[in-house]
Amino acid sequence: MKTVTYKVYNFNELSDKAKQNAIDKWYEHEDWPMLTEDLTESCGALLKDKKITYADLKLYFSLSSCQGDGLCFVGEFQWNKYYIKITHNYRYYFAKSTEIMLMDEEGEECCDKKAIDRFTKIYLDICGKLKKEGYGVLDYRMDFDEFQELCESNEYTFTDDGVMDNQ
């Protein structure tokens, strides 16, 4: 049997470089498991603010800071006197990758250009706000103090270069 011993450090005992390494390593495999739920909840609140009700709502997004990234939502909605069906029809998920169909109370497709333009503007505004919120979550990084608090509460320790010892 071979016994290996080495020193471990609390986060606050690390050099600034090692602290930054620890934080960077922490986020390396982050998968943001609650992002879809949180954005869907925000979408519901934004729809409610605009007096838009929905029977079903599905959110799609790709937020990797790449061309074609964005966010859209689909489903069946009711706004003013219109029934609305939003479908996704393209390869990428961004606000303008959907088709919006407004129908009147008889189920006939709406030809009122002003109503269509007004709803489209609301839709694009909501998508823009949700995209911004999503990137805000993805771009967030804890500072040294916040990460130290996390490490202390979970009793995490590190090697001298900031590699977590007890994951």
Instruction: Give the tens place of pLDDT for each residue, 63-73.
Output: 877 777 789 99
In a domain, 41, yes or no: yes
Evaluate whether residue 156 is within a structural domain.
Answer: no
Q: Which domain holds residue 133?
A: 35-139
Q: Mean of the pLDDT values across residues 48-75?
A: 89
Residue 117 scores a pLDDT above 90: yes
pTM: 0.77
**More confidently predicted of 116 and 66:** 116
Domain assignment present for 115: yes
114 within domain boundaries = yes
What percent of the chain clears pLDDT 90, i.e. is strictly above it?
65
Domain assignment present for residue 21? The answer is no
Total count of domains within the chain: 1
CB under 8 Å to 164, separation ≥6 — which residues?
22, 25, 26, 156, 157, 158
In the three-class reduction of DSSP (H, G, I as helix; E, B as strand; rest coil), residue 117 is classed as helix
Is 97 inside a domain boundary? yes
- Does residue 29 fall inside a structural domain? no
CA distances from 64 to 2, 33, 92, 93, 125 (A): 45, 15, 12, 11, 20
Is there a domain that residue 9 lies in?
no
Question: What residues form DSSP beta bridges with 79?
Answer: 52, 82
